[in-house]
Structure 1
């Protein structure tokens, strides 16, 4: 408790001193944040401080539609008008560059091979900007979203921007209907998902051991990443990193993808830092869940024929967990 008090005092002093001189936003870099405490001799804000240290990030603290959330199956509402998601690759495989950003394993497709999604809860066409991996230091945690309070070893997030209304991700991220994120829980198995196997096999993952490392991958079929189901959960939320813009439609697929225990171990050996700095595992790169408040969680999983009022506090049969357990 004494340590927490000391950090609070330091933070208050930091804010007062910088704000009295000039706006704090002009002093800070957009990547000046962390998921967990780091031993670097200087203060770097963890999630509980994101909305306090930078006025441009205030939604992280005061937003009403923040992500991630704990998906409680009793709050899900069946919506028969939710159509299947449509994936359009143009019949072509994609290439991309895999990065160690210091916070995530990030795969960014090259602009020559466009991947788009539409349909489902989306009223526009969205272009794939990034595939991002979250994972934990233990098998019981690592996903940003929870399911009835339960975490998974990891979570794949396919981040798209609205190409119908906006010219790029940066513009879309701060604008209405700007972002669509397809989220897939990661579970452990003896066999790996074909797409993730390309990213996580030893020859590839060891190329991005340290922050700023990058490796080019070619001939990948993004459709291989999607589990064989048309069922999903959707809600309106935010980007899960600063500035926490509330412009994201989340689509959580109703089946997981699988990686091997060895591949998960390889992820945990990735460093947040450059090679000449102390090793800090990238694992547990997750933002804590945020309050649902008055939002609806809709699904096309027909678990009940009860009404479609929103919000809905009736106790519905929690069959989603059982679906998630199936391969």
Structure 2
């Protein structure tokens, strides 16, 4: 075992992934010079003026407001509301910095299985004031299973995080480097729980598929539907909404079956530690114009001062000795792994 490498016992009964031999290079090679710098699940917009036990429910922000009253940023989330205590004292918080030297190959991780029923889906895209959020029509069910999952999970929401500049925007970091954005597909355990609200508070409740976004000359076909000019300009201001139909969820996923997984939390208050995270080992792409259009979205309503929604990410949280597992078989050697041939990690930044 390499110096400093921690042992992590594989936890799954499944067989080895078809893609287990893939080396971890897709993400790192695509980080590029612009990436060199180091969720209540459905956002509620409740006034902080109300005198009720739920006064703080929607009272949080990613960055300080330009004018007006104080709204707590991430460093204060766990201090202003006792129900959000985990945001400050939790030991399995998200996001994290994924250090490849700490990753453990788990031969029991199978490939993910996406079940769309062979149908395209519809959903409503919202400007929540914090995110671009696509919430699926309940008549079109999309489930995911396999990988580290014991249960099938149902897709509830797709959420976008992005930065004010290309060197930041993703919530997770890779060896200290950020990507320009991050797509998060939020699923809930529909086998154990009736809805996402119940699941978010419960063990084995949530699974979030995370896909990094990189700015380039081409565009992912799914994101192209969301971010083309005719669509994105319909949700310029907070609470704007627009219906999208005929979406193919499979087009959102990158062409890889390799992933990284760890146990964590929601990345917005109340920061419940009920989420399993799966980070795909390849980014997807949007054009520079599409990223510019995202940065023109306002986190406020038209009557208020413009403030870009960008930089809507929580800072990374301590790993606290959690295992980061992967189905990528790389650089494992020594007496603890006698059957694994040492491989050079083809994984360098530009």
Q: Classify the TM-score, shorter chain.
A: 0.7 to 0.9
Q: 1:161 to 1:242 in 2, by over 3 A?
A: same
Deviation at 1:41, TM superposition (A): 1.7
1:231 to 258, 261, 266: 258
Aligned twin of 1:292: 319
The answer as to whether partners of 2:332 and 2:343 remain within 8 angstroms in 1 is no
User: Is it true that 1:184 corresponds to 2:211 in the alignment?
Assistant: yes
Deviations 1:103-134 (A, max 9, x none): 00000000000000000000000000000000
Partner of 1:110: 137
Distance 2:87 2:347 in 1: 29
TM-score by length of 2: 0.82
Structure-2 separation of matches of 1:130 and 1:265? 23
Q: Deviations over 1:220-267 (max 9, x none)?
A: 000000011110000000000000000000000000000000000000
Structure number with the bigger relative contact order (C-alpha 8 A, sep ≥ 6) is: 2
Runs of 4+ residues deviating >2 angstroms: 304-309, 316-322
Determine helix, strand or coil for the equivalent of 1:107. strand
Q: CA RMSD in A?
A: 1.8
SS in structure 2 of the partner of residue 282 of structure 1: coil
Q: Kindly provide the CA deviation profile for residues 57-101 of structure 1, in whole angstroms up to 9, marking residues without a partner as x.
A: 000000000000000000000111110000000000000000000
Scaled by the length of structure 1, what TM-score is found?
0.87
Query: Secondary structure of 2:239's match?
Result: coil
Aligned to 1:4: none
Partner of 2:99: 72
CA contact (8 A) 1:234 1:299 kept: yes
For 1:31 and 1:317, the matched residues in 2 are separated by 48
Q: Secondary structure at the match of 1:108?
A: strand
Mapped partners of 1:66, 1:249: distance in 2: 11
CA deviations over 1:15-57 (Å, ceiling 9, x no partner)? xxxxxxxxx9815241110000002320100000000000000
State the Cα distance separating 1:308 from its structure 2 match: 11
Tell me, yes or no, if the aligned pair for 2:168 and 2:180 is still in contact at 8 Å: yes
Alignment correspondent of 2:345: 319
User: For each residue in 1:285-313, what CA deviation from the matched residue of structure 2 results, as whole angstroms up to 9, or x when unmatched?
Assistant: 0000000012000001111233798xxxx
Give the conservation status (yes or no) of the 8 Å contact 1:67–1:239: yes
| Larger helix fraction of residues | 1
